[in-house]
Amino acid sequence: MNSKLSIKHFEAVIFDMDGVLIDSEPLWKIAMEKVFSDLGCNLSKNDFQRTVGLRIDEVIHYWNKNQNLGISDEKKVEDDIINRMVELVSENPIPLTGVIETLEYLTKNKLKIGLATSSPNNLLQAVLEGLKINHFFHVAHSAEFEEFGKPHPAVYLETAKKLNVDSNKCLVIEDSLNGIISGMSAKMKVVCIPEKTHLKEPRLRVADFMFEDMSLMLAAFKNGY
């Protein structure tokens, strides 16, 4: 990993959403545990660590095959989980440490700001509206509209295209291994701010930079600029 981070090397910063802007990873596990339990499958929150960073349709398909659940309508399961997630996010939308301050700093310094998430678009909109941060983002793009989700780079490449910025001028902020691989595969530099349950995952250190929270990343921006 590099030790010095300066925004003068970039024209755009692209944020992941879950676990980066909002502490939604635990909420995903709550929603999935409930819906899968209703289907007679007792998957735990620890089990869901194995599918962090994947699109929700890919998560459901994975567990349907892995556990031989015999789910014939995976889209119905997906809709149930997403609807529960929208409810959970709307009940208590709290940004993670340093998010608002970082968005304000990037805006002040005239960088383009994007969002590239594996989550579906209706949840993306619920988060932006709940946190009241819509106005900061020039582009907000969901992998729902791509053939492949993370770790494929498509969602980051399309976000950069919509921002009209070359990939090598983009900085990605991620929390999961699949997200890091996605950003690096798109030829972007990647900051990893691990979601708390990922802190013991040594492979996250493949990222170009790592910080415990976004306020520390913001301090690095200010010191390196």
Which residues participate in catalysis according to the annotation? 16, 18
3-state secondary structure of 52: coil
3-state secondary structure of 49: helix
**Beta-strand relationship, 112-117 and 170-174:** unpaired
Give me the phi and psi of 183, to 5 degrees please: -65, -45
Sign of CA dihedral 164, 170, 175, 180: positive
Q: DSSP secondary-structure letter at 119?
A: S
